Structure 1
């Protein structure tokens, strides 16, 4: 069989590139209408346990790695010095909906540091929270940076920056706070990052392999007794205790963590990334949907959590994100999401 130029290049580099796997399908009228391909990896502390697609695929974790970005906040002593609570640690790991519960918590956090909203570098956007969105819209009031879904992470950066005595531009890649994040990211993933992109909140986002991301989540699932292990445990415990601060009402992270009754922590990221931390099993999971679709990443992580026994098939969360019918505006059933054949095995 004649090899393509891409295959020849891959062979010369010592490796045949692995294609993405079929993960999630949408069916309508008895026909497959859409297909979402991607990559998924399950790791334990020894390495890959199961994988679909290419575990070595390089990805930007986006917001799925916020717990990794929050590690220097605790390891440096900044969190203890500032007297941060588990609620604030959950916010540091979260991509919140910008509801009053989130806005007031971040505002209070900065006030405790004698800082104000302009000290943030995340930018402002309209909140996903329905009530707060309506309040701003009806009052013709613009959103502020507290509404940004990453404002909790940035409050963590500001807390770390205060401890490190860095300059005000804490999102610059060469800032002491971001250098600490990069070093921690590479240590936890076990890889040297190929580079970084700028996230939607203006902070650097370092890339890694999907296996590296799953390996990092496995480290959070079974942390050691050293300083890093204690910091990992604090962050996971905070996420499990306060799922409403990690995302918000109706959001996948919050709904799934509640469904698992605190037995696991999950975190979404933009462009079809989703991770899970399962302490009881010592497993870490990472998913990347190649077309970046959120609906597919939510379905894929739900399928894997079912596969691992972390979710019960009868739980409403499973129906909501994976098995339930799709309805139109009149309430008529028009289709359904399905796991692609062989996923999970």
Structure 2
């Protein structure tokens, strides 16, 4: 098994303060590894970076069309959103159109990441509900499949028809048998895979010619993410800001514990990235470094510069340090 490579460094006062190591794989349309850093066979949990794979049964089954889902709905199905009013209201209306409500979700609740919505809840003496969960869009998509298939309500159980369909789709697009599973923060199973497998799956999305139910689903989901970056994450978030910076030419998605993927249709390439210590600042910087090297992201764009060199600003507004790519990485 290969070792993680040094990818991102934090410098302060002219001295190296911290180093982040990781793995990354770039695959082409044939599923072949074009470039790799670290260990391509490293088994990881993709966490939320694989939401477009988890959304495949929603589209392939005909559920999305049966319930008239828009491109925006599909983007929200792939989202790890901020819980802003935009996201909460859309998820609420989606469930209402299904004849369902917030209690039908199985994702649990947490305080919204969006400050405006968080402050509104505090001022109105309200607690957060499941609609504020960053995965409520994904779960709304899950419930759409459930309603269409007339399946049972406990859709996050491993033996539920939905999770069986997701596992089958996951194994098909990654080209490998799931290495196991863990339970994600939203209570849904998350199937383990190699970094190469995740990159291979993203390359299939990137190179889809729209043939067959799966090919059409891949194209629709990729387009939806790129067309609605504000739904995929939210204001201030890397997914939203970097997709905007790339003009919708690339779809990217983060996952917990510093996982990132990128779908590049123009180049028919898929990227998967994992930082070993789970540090998000490092995954964002490494992603910017790779996408810039590939020529799909302008390294001088303000949203790229925000993550690399990502100036470290203290409480008095002084620049105290910066992130840098490790020597030899990209």
Give the structure-2-normalised TM-score.
Answer: 0.98
- Find the counterpart in structure 2 of residue 258 from structure 1: 244
- Find the counterpart in structure 1 of residue 292 from structure 2: 306
Larger Rg: 1
The question of 1:36 aligning with 2:36 is answered: no
Q: CA deviation at 1:329?
A: 0.8
The question of 1:128 aligning with 2:113 is answered: yes
Distance 1:30 1:40 in 2: 28
Distance 1:325 1:205 in 2: 34
Distance 1:139 1:233 in 2: 42
The question of 1:338 aligning with 2:327 is answered: no
Distance 2:27 2:139 in 1: 29
Q: CA deviation at 1:322?
A: 1.1
- Find the counterpart in structure 2 of residue 212 from structure 1: 197
Q: CA deviation at 1:196?
A: 0.4
Match of 1:236 among 208, 217, 222: 222
Q: CA deviation at 1:226?
A: 1.8
The question of 1:199 aligning with 2:176 is answered: no
Secondary structure (helix, strand or coil) at the match of 2:308 reads helix
- Find the counterpart in structure 2 of residue 329 from structure 1: 315
Count of aligned pairs between the two proteins:
328
Q: CA deviation at 1:323?
A: 1.5
> Pairwise mapping of residues 1-345 of structure 1 onto structure 2 (< 5 A)?
17-46=1-30, 47-224=32-209, 225-344=211-330
Contact 2:75 2:221 in 1 (8 A): yes
Secondary structure (helix, strand or coil) at the match of 1:321 reads coil
Task: Report which stretch shifted further, 130-139 or 114-123.
Answer: 130-139
Task: Report which stretch shifted further, 243-252 or 313-322.
Answer: 313-322
Q: CA deviation at 1:343?
A: 1.1
Distance 1:37 1:151 in 2: 32
Give the structure-1-normalised TM-score.
Answer: 0.94
Distance 2:317 2:269 in 1: 39
CA RMSD of aligned residues (A): 0.7
Q: CA deviation at 1:314?
A: 1.5
Q: CA deviation at 1:328?
A: 0.4
Gaps of at least 5 residues in structure 2 are none
Contact 2:21 2:277 in 1 (8 A): yes
Gaps of at least 5 residues in structure 1 are 1-16
Deviations 1:156-211 (CA, angstroms, capped at 9, x unpaired): 00000111211110000100011000000000000000110000000000000000
Secondary structure (helix, strand or coil) at the match of 1:322 reads coil
Contact 2:288 2:299 in 1 (8 A): no
Distance 1:131 1:181 in 2: 34
Q: CA deviation at 1:112?
A: 0.3
Secondary structure (helix, strand or coil) at the match of 1:197 reads strand
